[in-house]
Structure 1
């Protein structure tokens, strides 16, 4: 493995990259040619360039791109695409270049990659390689969050036809229908010798600073060796809606020391009945579950002034 400084120098001087864009989304399909042209104009020698039209092909295409031996694998898409690339590149001598082409772009916001396309490409040409943490649930790495409760039930229940017609609005529409009959969970979290119990419809374990495009707290990052566990509201449905709105409006003013946040390196979570789990928006089994960290697992091309611990 090269040092981060050596890999940064190689990217800046040799500009050997591969490009994978999730073209299944309307924005990815529309911007693919623009991204390709601007990377070439920036001096990158693209060893391979892949617009991925079918989601089921993403992992295979990413692996094919990495096998070309680039110094930088440029990934264009939303959090699902970014998560797939992060899992592939964990602990490899290839940096991930991030072009935020999704809706919420939580991971890009967390690591400070600009949402503007030209500015994000500027990071690829003039930035530096840093290490960031990935979450770990079972053998699966994740970039953003684990959701337990209503969010996972929504992922399971949202009709494919509604998702095609309404896009991301399909999830809150499905959620409102489910909430009317959703029973709260009694959640027990064990971490660092302590036990925490609460009753809620929803709990998250985050590995970063953003969820749904909004800050979780002012001081949560993807490079702090911490997971952030927190329930959203209490046992009532009204409490869930109220706390969801509060989180969206006030996350930038809250800190990890505030209630109800629990900042730890790993945790064991169980519920009074088996509850579905989603990981970065994808279904993943049921509780109980252990969630941990894979510190400094991913090499990422970030802004030149980015902190790197």
Structure 2
């Protein structure tokens, strides 16, 4: 692996980039030509440009782009697309360039990146290469979040047209339709030998700083070697409803020191009953699960003021 300074210099000097854009999504399809113009106007002559119309081809397409040997892999899409790219780029000497074209853009927000297309492309020429942490749930790396409970059902139920129409608000509104029939569960979180027990409808384990487009707490970092576990509400549906709507309407910021958080580098998650885990949008594993951090797991282009530890 090159030093981050050498990698940054290579991106700026040689402009060796490949571009992958999820054109299956509405925003990806609508802005595809525009982002290519912006990238070329920034001085990049892409080694290859790969529109992805079929999501099942995303992983193979990312491999094709990486085979060209870029210093920078520019990926346009939402959190699901970027999460797939992060997994492909983990521990590689290639930096990820983020084009946020999703609904919530949690990954871009956690990195402090501009959410406009012009601003995002400017990072590729004026920013720097940083190494950030990943989470690991079982054997699956994740960039943003592992979650258990009602959000797993919401992710599989929310309608694409509702996301297009309402953006981030589509998720809490979909949760309102699911919550009346959802049963609370007991969760046990073991960190540093201490076992925490809670009754809830929703448990989240965050690597990044944002969930659903809203900040979890103002002092969470995507690059501090820690995971943060927290519940939304409790075992009471009304409390979950009130807290979810409060976050959706106010974007309330909380400090880790003053909120109901469990923090650690490694966590054992057990639930009663056993539950499916939503890992950055993929529902594959079930509890019990061990979650850990992967320090400096992936390289990304970030703004110069990003605090890289």
Equivalence for 1:163:
159
Shift of 1:34: 0.9
| Matching residue of 2:203 | 203
What corresponds to 1:149 in structure 2? 149
**Number of matched residues?**
305
2:23 is aligned to 23
- Displacement of 1:172 in angstroms is 4.6
Listed as ranges, the gaps of 5+ residues in structure 1 are: none
**Structure 1: distance between partners of 2:99 and 2:173:** 29
Task: Please tell me whether residue 111 in structure 1 is matched to residue 107 in structure 2.
Answer: no
Aligned residue for 2:47, secondary structure, equals strand
Deviations 1:91-122 (A, max 9, x none): 00000001111111011011011001111111
2:142, 2:229 → 1: CA distance? 15
Which residue of the partner structure matches residue 13 of structure 2? 13
Contact map agreement 1:142 1:280 (CA 8 A) in 2: yes
User: Aligned partners of 2:246 and 2:252: how far apart in 1?
Assistant: 11
Matched residue of 1:40: which SS?
A: helix
Contact 1:184 1:235 in 2 (8 A): yes
1:74-113 matched pairs, under 5 angstroms: 74-113=74-113
RMSD of Structure 2 on Structure 1 (CA): 1.6
Q: Which residue of 2 aligns with 1:227?
A: 227
> How do 1:169-208 and structure 2 match up within 5 A?
171-172=171-172, 174-208=174-208
8 Å CA contact retained: 2:171, 2:212: no
Unpaired segments ≥5 residues, structure 2: none
Task: Please report how far the alpha carbon of residue 243 of structure 1 lies from its aligned counterpart in structure 2 after TM superposition.
Answer: 1.8
Q: Secondary structure at the match of 1:308?
A: coil
Instruction: Give the TM-score, by structure 1 length.
Output: 0.94
Secondary structure at 1:46 match in 2: coil
Q: Is the 8 A contact 1:153 1:276 kept in 2?
A: no
Distance 1:164 1:128 in 2: 34
For 1:233 and 1:256, the matched residues in 2 are separated by: 16
Aligned match of 1:240? 240
Q: Is the 8 A contact 2:103 2:163 kept in 1?
A: no
Q: Secondary structure at the match of 1:29?
A: helix
Task: Measure how far apart 1:307 and its partner are.
Answer: 1.1
CA offsets per residue over residues 202-256 of structure 1, 9 Å max, x none?
Answer: 0000001111111100011110111010011111100111122334456653111
How far is the alpha carbon of 1:180 from its aligned partner?
A: 1.3
Please say if 1:301 is aligned against 2:297. Answer: no
Could you report, residue by residue, the CA deviation over 1:164-215 in whole angstroms, capped at 9, with x for unpaired residues? 4434667555533331121110111101111100100000000011111111
User: 1:144, CA displacement in angstroms?
Assistant: 0.6
How far is 1:163 from its partner?
Answer: 2.5
Quote the Cα distance in structure 2 between the aligned partners of 1:255 and 1:245. Answer: 19
Asked if 2 retains the 8 angstrom alpha-carbon contact of 1:217 and 1:251, the reply is no
2:187 is paired with a residue whose SS is strand
1:2 aligns with 2:9: no
